[in-house]
Amino acid sequence: MAVFLGGTDPEKDYIYTQFIEYFNNPRLYFSPEDSVPHSPYIVYVTPIHSMLLNENRFLIVMCKSHSHSTPSSIQWLKNLKWTILQTRHIEHPEKYVSSIPDLQSHSYTLRENHEMSTWNIQYEKSTTDWSKYKCPQYPQLQVFLLHQRGQLDEYAKRGSVTIAIETFRTLIQLEDTDYSSIIQRFPSGYTKI
């Protein structure tokens, strides 16, 4: 992440804030099943409450392991600098239920007027497993929608970040912001990467 004198990357911080607000800052649980030793990621999960009994919806965040030296058993989303955020239907949630004591569901209210509903996504490419979208307003966001039927055209060519999230077949990757064009204009020593 780009770091400026006196702080961190303001654009990335804004994106984190919007996700925290959208999901109502859920409590996430460290997943020992997914955070294997020497893995580049530490994984946190929380079940998302659903009115349908057969829908096992989860919010999953993956943080680079060097950014969190010792994982806590419970973290709030606002305290996690994630690289990958997933909203997923999990076919076999028992792996989480059996390995995470006191796992509790989180509820949030879908807010159609949330800021992220204006973050448009545009189709980029597909495989039989996923469709990839870019977000023109925030190029560091990459959105992947996972296919159910193995077809290249399972999803629309355009949408919004919130529509993608609510499919619960979504992987969002947040890359570092590219400030190289701005940094070139500053004298040496005024910025730090």
pLDDT at 119: 96
* Higher-confidence position of 130 and 39: 130
| Whether the predicted model's global pTM rises above the 0.85 cut | no
8 A C-beta contact, residue 29 and residue 60: no
128 has a pLDDT exceeding 80: yes
Q: Count the residues in the chain.
A: 193
For residue 94, give both structure tokens. Answer: 């028992």
pLDDT tens for each residue of 156-183: 999 999 999 999 999 999 987 665 554 4
Helix (H, G, I), strand (E, B) or coil at 11: helix
Answer whether 90's CB lies under 8 Å from 179's CB.
no
Residue 84, exposed/middle/buried by CB under 10 A (0-12, 13-18, 19+)?
A: middle
Q: CA 37 to CA 171: how far, in whole Å? A: 23
Helical segments of 34-150, H only: 94-99
